[in-house]
Amino acid sequence: MVPHILSFRKILPGLFVLLAINVFSQTKKIDSLNAALVKYDADKMAHGNKLSLKDSVKIRIYENLSIEYYMISDAKNGMDYSTKGVRLSEKLDYKTGLLNGNLMLGVYYSILHNFDKSMWHFKKALAVARQTHNLEMEQGLYNNIGSAYSEHGNYEEGLAYFYKGLGIAKKRKDKGVSTFYNNIGIIYGIQGRYKEEISNYMQSLKYQEKLKSWYGIGLTAQNIAESYYKRNLMDEAEKWYTRGVTYAQKGGNKISEANNHEGLGKVSLFRKDFSGAVTQLEMSLSMRKITGDSAGISSSLVNLGGVYLKKGNFQKALSNLNEGLSIARKVGNLDAQKLGYSYLAETYGAMGKYKQAYESHVQFKTLSDSIFNAERDKKLTELRLTNEFNTKQKEQKALQQKKDAATALKARQQRSAIYAVLIALIIVTFFAFWINYNLQRNKKQKRIIEEQNEKIGHSLDEKETLLREIHHRVKNNLQIISSLLNIQSENIKDETLLSSIQEGQSRVQAMSLIHQNLYQSEHLNTVDIENYLRELVVYLSQMFRADSKNIETKINTDGIQFDIDTAIPLGLIVNELVSNAYKYAFENRENGKISIRIHASGDAYELHIENDGKPLPADFDMKTTKSLGLRLVSILSRQLRGKLSFHSDERNTSFVVSFKDLKSLATD
């Protein structure tokens, strides 16, 4: 599910005030309005065709016809009547007609995804609203323009217009304050600025609760829940999804209620509460069938299929997945298709239908690459537009500074002229020549510097994009190797050989996650080691979930980040030691604890991995051990210019790796 922007629909509520005062408001029928238009033209012919402000009645008929056609999604006829209204308003210099007509044309072009024309008409309407001091329409247009920029990927411009609209809404003490806070929160969420995102959602809720606007509160609560869910903060996500259900019920918003039920289902699935997941997802599916939300229906069915897959009910999984995928393909729900094919490949693999599993996996990879490329292109567009916005701001500031400098210079010249005209003329002539010479020289230098900076900027952007693509392809190749190992392991009965293949698969996954973190990170040269270790531990816990173990894992890295040369051996060390804990320390136990800590110690670092499982044998010796995994840990510790030590007793077993940051060593 995507966040809900309350008024990204581009329809300004104030526009429909026209209907309340128009003589044709009772019918709202297109044929009645057309009949009124014919009658008006006939009356006009009978009394002469000379234009006057009385023709504003005809403009208002055009406006109402445009609105009626909008209601039935007939953009062609609606735009035709809005255009006629604008042209007649221009002849009469009728401001209200110009404002409403350009607003509706902006709405239509926005629906048709013609950003440039939509923006042109919105800004024409905004100019008229400012000229006529119509704050209500000005506020709505700021929201429309901010929405258009945001949907186009120019989030900085979008935020600028949302904040302008928020200022007017506060000044007017209008309920639109909550809408602006909600929209601003969504933009911050897209940018990954989660603290600002939640803060704005809370401000939106505060205003909506005063108005008891349950419909809007339900949508905003869902946005908050989605923010926590995508960060794996499941307790907070569950709390807000539950509130969203309650608020949506009070507001009679079945679509929002269904979305929140689906969110609760996903939280239950994450916690492996399959019964709760089925209950919530079936409620979501039932409501979406009532509202006719096809995209939502496909999402609910795919998620249900995933639950049945985890439960081992493969027939029900296939039934729901195939039905969900069929609908998702029809309505173009790419996210549901991607998730559905992933579950489908896993289901066929579990059933031993490897050909269908492979075909589904190919579909999943194709969709994943398409979505990744689209997101990458959108991110590059966002960066370009943000740079353009910042450049424009700098240019405006520089222009103002030049104007201020010119004003100051003129004042000095005038004062000098009062004391001595002749001397002033000589000085002015001299300084004019000197200033012109320096301005020309500075402009030339500035132009050269700007051209060099632009070339450097383009080169850096291209290299960064190429590096992200390389990390992405490496990750994909490693994932393919992991998938092949997984498929191969399905037919292996020998437990020793199967264990070896699974160990190899986990090592491949450990390296794959490094490259995934790098291409998804804003900083390509460092890895957020805590986030990486959490993903690695989640993967390992899923790999050993068949043992029905409930192992609690705590990770603390003090926010330390490493480059790829340090992160890969460190990740492999953690992979081996955590895997050994699952296999041996907790061999005959269902519960246990694993602690992973990394902290700085002088100019070095220490990795501590502890578990409260079965201790090591009394005669255990790292130098003579035959375990490939522990030998690999020793080798990787030396690669990190470090040393490995361990301690084991009845209470716990701990391994400590003291190591160096390889990048720091290379710099030294």
275: exposed, middle or buried (Cβ count in 10 Å: 0-12, 13-18, 19+): exposed
Given a contact cutoff of 8 angstroms between Cβ atoms, the answer to whether 603 and 625 are in contact is no
Round to whole Å and give the CA distance between 559 and 395. 38
544-667 has which CATH code? 3.30.565.10
Round to whole Å and give the CA distance between 668 and 659. 16
Residues in a beta bridge with 600:
605
Residue 538 tokens read as: 């989640």
CA-based nearest residue to 583, from 609, 633, 547, 610: 547
Report the predicted TM-score, pTM, of the whole model to 2 decimal places. Answer: 0.51
| pLDDT, tens digit (0-9, with 9 covering 90-100), for 402-431 | 566 566 667 677 776 677 677 877 887 777
Task: Output phi, psi for 11, to 5 deg.
Answer: -90, 120
| pLDDT, tens digit (0-9, with 9 covering 90-100), for 123-153 | 999 999 999 999 999 999 999 999 888 888 8
Given CATH 1.25.40.10, say whether it is the number of domain 1-132.
Answer: yes
Task: Output phi, psi for 185, to 5 deg.
Answer: -60, -40
Residue 449 tokens read as: 């510097």
pLDDT at 469: 55
137-203 has which CATH code? 1.25.40.10
Q: Measuring CA to CA, how many Å separate 609 from each of 191, 523, 555, 623, 644? A: 35, 27, 10, 19, 11
Q: Note the maximum CA span of the chain.
A: 113
Q: Is the pLDDT of residue 32 over 70?
A: yes
Given a contact cutoff of 8 angstroms between Cβ atoms, the answer to whether 300 and 262 are in contact is yes
Do 137-203 and 1-132 have the same topology in CATH?
yes
- Point out the least confidently predicted range of 125-129, 242-246, 254-258, 484-488: 484-488
Round to whole Å and give the CA distance between 597 and 607. 6
Given a contact cutoff of 8 angstroms between Cβ atoms, the answer to whether 364 and 334 are in contact is no
Round to whole Å and give the CA distance between 189 and 194. 6
Does residue 177 or residue 500 have the better pLDDT? 177
pLDDT at 13: 32
Round to whole Å and give the CA distance between 317 and 547. 23
Rounded-to-10 torsion of CA 401, 404, 405, 411? 180
Where do the structural domains in the chain lie, given as residue ranges? 1-132, 137-203, 436-524, 544-667
Round to whole Å and give the CA distance between 23 and 16. 14
